[in-house]
Structures are given as structure tokens and as C-alpha cells.
Chains A and B, each alone.
Chain A
Amino acid sequence: MVTDQGTVFSVRNLNVYYRDFHAVSDVSFDVAKSEITAFIGPSGCGKTTVLRCFNRMNDLISTARVEGEVRFHGVDLYSPEVDPVEVRRRVGMVFQKPNPFPKSVYENVAFGPKVAGHQGKLEDLVEEMLTKAALWDEVKDKLDQSAYALSGGQQQRLCIARAIATSPDVLLMDEPCASLDPIATLRIEELMFNLKQDYTIIIVTHNMQQAARVSDRTGFFTVDVQEAGKRTGRLVEFDETGRIFTNPSRPETEDYITGRFG
């Protein structure tokens, strides 16, 4: 049974366009605090696009246009007085492929707090974050070595440490295990369980078992192919994960999770 502890994100009638291409149509749902919310669905259904609305990463694509509301603690993220830089300090992100900076392990974690004007000892903060990311014991003797010398799984945990170093409320994870082996994946999933105490997590995943294992709520997206081959993503169903995987209310969801489609 999932208990509501407050709403972090509230999405209403979200539409995303790339130039005149309608990528995501009319999505509405709420993300609850200190839960893990998973987005599943076939490729091209817009789940990553929706995820990138939460920290305004879609701003980087000059042709992208966002309509509707994305409220973060009640504030519309897309209202003109909101500074996207501040949004990204409060909403961390982990990407599909580990993308550490070409710098030392230490600098990877310290960069975010440094540019945010962190007061206090950076060394302590870096240790704390690496510990939270379950990486400290493996890297404590090579803090000044290249982040590229770490394994893929370690790099991804370093990216998690980097993402939580600005003490965000939310952690967005865009298929964080897509390029990792099953053991590294397991470690990330364990880590997500621990991080859930302090952070609200939204994860996009292609792996339905992963969504079933880690998440409290799941949104199932699908893609409608219109005439002229235009593909528009929409949210089919958003519910507690247990219900989505055992007793979904929509036939499309059932088809997808039982493997009849996608």
C-alpha cells in the first residue's frame, strides 16, 4: 500500500513539440514525495521527453516547445521568472550512458556544489556523497585519478553522487542501467532503495522487471502512429506499480506487460 506524503511534481495537460512535431500529447499525473516513480513504454513514446521537462533539459533543444503545466512544489517550472539553473540544482539527473566529466573523481562530485557557492568543506561533502552513492570504499584511494579509469557501473554511481551533491529534492534517472551488466544494475537498484529515504526518484526504464522491482508507481506510455507516419506519445495509465503489473485497468497496458506488444 502506497501512502501519499505530499506531491512533488504535478503535471497537467503537458504537450511537447519539436518544431511542428507533436512528441507528447496531453499528459497529466502527480509524482509523490519520497517515492520511486517509473516510466515504461516502447521506444519513441516520449517518456524521456517528459522526464527532461522536470529539470528543463528540453530547453537545450532550440526547437522544443512545452505547453501545459509542470508544477514543482506548486511553482510552474515553465513560468518566465523561473531560472532553469536553479531548477537543475534542485532536480538532479542521471543519464543513460555514464557521462562523468573528463576530470578526477573528486572534481566530478565537487563541481556542482562549487558553482553553487557551497559553504563549508568540500572534502567532507564529496566523501558524504560518494558514501551515499555506495562508491566511497572503492574510490577513496583514487579521488585524484581520472573518472574514466572507473568501470561502467562505478562511473554511473559516480554520476549519481554528482547528481545528489547539490542536495536536490528529486533525482531523475534516464535508463540509468541501460549500458550496465546485471550485477552493476543490481547495485544501482539497491542504491535507489536507499536513496529513496532522502530523494524523490523518477526513473525511465526499458526493463519492465526493473520497474516492477524498484518503483512505487508506474506510468505506462505508448505511441500513437498517425497519418503521415507522425508518432505522438501519450500516457495510457498511471497507477501504483503493483496494480499496473497485476491488474491494469487498460487493455494496452496488459498487452505490453505480458509481452504481446512492444
Chain B
Amino acid sequence: MNAGSSAAEAVANSLRRRRSGVGGLIFEVGLVVSLLAALGILATLLAEVIQGAVPVFQDRGWGFIRGPLTLSSDTAGVWLGIVGSLTIAALVALLAFPIGIGAAIYLEEYAADTRFTRFVTTNIRNLAGVPSIVYGLLGLAVFVRLVDGIDGAQRNGRSVVAAGLTMAVLVLPIVIITASEAIRAVPGTIREAGLAVGATRWEVIRHHVLPAAAPGVLTGTILTLSRAFGESAPLLLIGVTTGLLTIPKGIGILDRLLGGYTALPVQVFTYARQPGDLQDHVAPAAIVVLLVVLLGVNAIAIVLRNRWEQRW
């Protein structure tokens, strides 16, 4: 009786003894500081850019958006950059998404787990880490020449098509990796269930694996669009226009696709290199436009994904 009650007391005492939480508290404070540091840097950056951009939007407003690529701060605008960047993004979506998702389906669903497929997978991961300037060299060597060949001697292949092809190759490894991961995350029991009712492998993939993987695949591919949107280094190598660009009115779509072009990040780069108003105000304004267009494209893609996606 006595022994029992003393044991119960010991338990009660140990339950009441709170551990001092100094270590935990320091850890938590450290985490909050890290978060604030990240947010603070971002906020400073945004504030700086917006502050620089405000005069341009106040003075010229729509005129800046519609303006051409020139080096005069009174007329310089971003319209050609918007058009060029959207065209590049569209080409990337058209080329890299189907090829990348197709490759991912093959790697995950069909390829046997051999040393060779593992070698291929590893190297796709390596390709995703290759600096973008290297893809610029590839684009110059292959796509600029290719488009040049199609177009004949008239131009020199420095076209938005070559840019789209280069960017598509640049994001392809990332599309393959993210799509593979989404497909791998679909439980094997779903595949077994499909095969067990007498569906072929393709029917199981088409009706069960891909719909289940679609949200993940789309999320990953949307992220790669941002990458294609923001890159400038490879474009500089493959001959994007950085000086003065006017596109004559009334030319056909083929001439537009094969002629000179520019892109938003390249415009930011162009304006930021010039001293004076171009650097202080026009470049920040172009950055604001770049961010807004990027957010817009992502928002549209996410809305499309959510509409497609059927949650069960």
C-alpha cells in the first residue's frame, strides 16, 4: 500500500516536472529570423524596383507598354519583349511539354530497370543542372543554323523560333524529371487493379495513371514555363536583338517568326546597361512588367490545371 502510493507519487512528480525550453526557444527564434531575412531581402528588392518604375508608369503609362525597343528613354517600351517572351513560352509549351511528358511516361512505365536506363535517368538529372549559357551554345550551333537553312540566305537564323527551340531544350530535362516524379507517385495498387480487370498497359496508363498524375505533372511543367520566361543568357548567344528593333507594320506571321525579336529579360538587360533614365527608371519598369506577365502566365496555367483536375 505504502510502496504503491509512493510509486504513484513519483509518477505524478515526473509528470509535473516541465522541461526548460531554452534550446527549443532559441531554435524557434532562429527560424523566424531566417524567414524574416528572406522576406526582407525580397521586400527591399521589390520596393527598389517599384520606386524606380513609378515615374515611367506615371508619365507614359500605356505608351511604355506599347513602346518599341529603342535606346531613347522617352520612347522606349516593352511591347516587343512581351510578344517575344509569350511566343517563346508558347513554343516551349508546344515542344517541351509533349516530348518531356512522353519521355517521362516511357522511363517510368515502360523502360526496364537496367543499368542503361539508370544511366539515362542520372544524366537527365545532370542536364537539368547544366548552365543555361551552354544551351545557348547548343542553340547557336543547331537551331540558328537550322532556321537559317529553312529561311535561305535572306536572314541569318536569329529568330524567335530558334529561341523557342533552344528554351524548349533547356527546360526539357526539368519537365522529364518533374513529370517522372509525379508519375512515380501514383500508387502501384492502381496499376495492379487496372491490369487485373484485363486492361492493357496503355489503357491503364491512359485511364488511370495519367489522370492521377496530371496535377503533379502540370504543376511541374508550369514551373518550367517561368524558367523559360526568365532566362536571358542563352538568348544573348543566339542573337536576340539588344539594340534597336522595329517590326514593320503589316508583315506576315512567318516573317515575324523568322525575323528579329527580343524578350522581356533581354530588354531589362538592354535598358539596365544604359546610363541615366534608361537604367534608373525604364529598366525597373520593364522588370515590373516582366513580373506581372510572369505572374499572369502562371496564374492562367494554375487556373487551367485546377479546372482539369478532378479531385477524388
Contacts and interface: CB of A to CB of B under 8 A. Distances in A.
Contacts of B312: 102-104, 146-148
B192 A165 contact: no
Given A62-B113, A102-B212, A92 B197 contact: yes
B23 interface: no
A99 B197 contact: no
A146 B312 CA distance: 5
A163 B197 contact: yes
A127 B112 CA distance: 40
Contact of B198 (A102, A103, A112): A112
A228 interface: no
B189 A57 contact: no
Contact of A99 (B190, B198, B199): B190
Among A104, A111, A148, A163, residue most surrounded by chain B Cβ atoms (within 10 Å) = A111
Contact of B197 (A104, A147, A166): A166
A229 B200 CA distance: 38
Contacts, number: 72
B208 A99 contact: no
B195 interface: yes
B190 A116 contact: no
B193 interface: yes
Contact of B193 (A55, A100, A115): A100
B203 A115 contact: yes
Interface string A82-126: 000110111011010101111110000001100110000000000
A165 B197 contact: yes
Nearest to A103: B312
A101 to B, nearest CB: 6
A223 interface: no
A101 B190 contact: yes
User: Which of B189, B203, B312 is most buried by chain A, counting CB atoms within 10 A of its CB?
Assistant: B312
Nearest to A84: B195
B196 interface: yes
B207 interface: yes
B230 interface: no
A102 B190 contact: yes
A234 interface: no
A95 B212 CA distance: 20
Contacts of A90: 198
Interface in A161-183: 162-163, 165-166
Most buried by B among A88, A100, A116, A163: A88
How many residues of A sit at the interface, in one of the four size bands?
20 to 34
A89 B193 CA distance: 12
Interface string B211-240: 110000000000000000000000000000
B194 interface: yes
B192 A101 contact: no
Interface residues of B, number: 21
Given A60-B195, A102-B312, A85 B190 contact: no
Contacts of B190: 99, 101-102
A42 B212 CA distance: 36
A241 to B, nearest CB: 26
B193 A99 contact: yes
A159 interface: yes
Nearest to B112: A62
A89 B197 CA distance: 6
Interface string A132-166: 00000000000000111000000000010011011
Interface in B77-110: none
Interface string B92-135: 00000000000000000000110000000000000000000000
Contacts of B199: 85, 111-112, 115
A64 to B, nearest CB: 13
Contacts of A99: 187, 189-190, 192-193
B192 A111 contact: no
A112 B194 CA distance: 8
B116 to A, nearest CB: 14
Given A146-B312, A147-B312, A101 B208 contact: yes
A101 B198 contact: no
Contacts of B192: 57, 60, 95, 99
Contacts of B112: 62
Given A103-B211, A111-B197, A162-B197, 18 more contacts: A88-B195, A88-B197, A88-B198, A89-B197, A89-B198, A95-B193, A97-B189, A101-B190, A102-B312, A103-B312, A104-B312, A111-B194, A112-B197, A115-B203, A116-B198, A146-B312, A163-B196, A165-B197
**Leading 7 A-B pairs by shortest Cβ distance:** A89-B198, A112-B197, A99-B189, A146-B312, A93-B196, A102-B312, A88-B198
25 contacts: A55-B196, A57-B192, A57-B195, A57-B196, A60-B192, A85-B198, A85-B200, A88-B197, A92-B197, A93-B196, A99-B192, A101-B190, A101-B208, A102-B212, A102-B312, A103-B208, A103-B211, A104-B312, A111-B197, A111-B199, A116-B198, A146-B312, A148-B312, A165-B197, A166-B198
Interface of B: 112-113, 187, 189-200, 203, 207-208, 211-212, 312
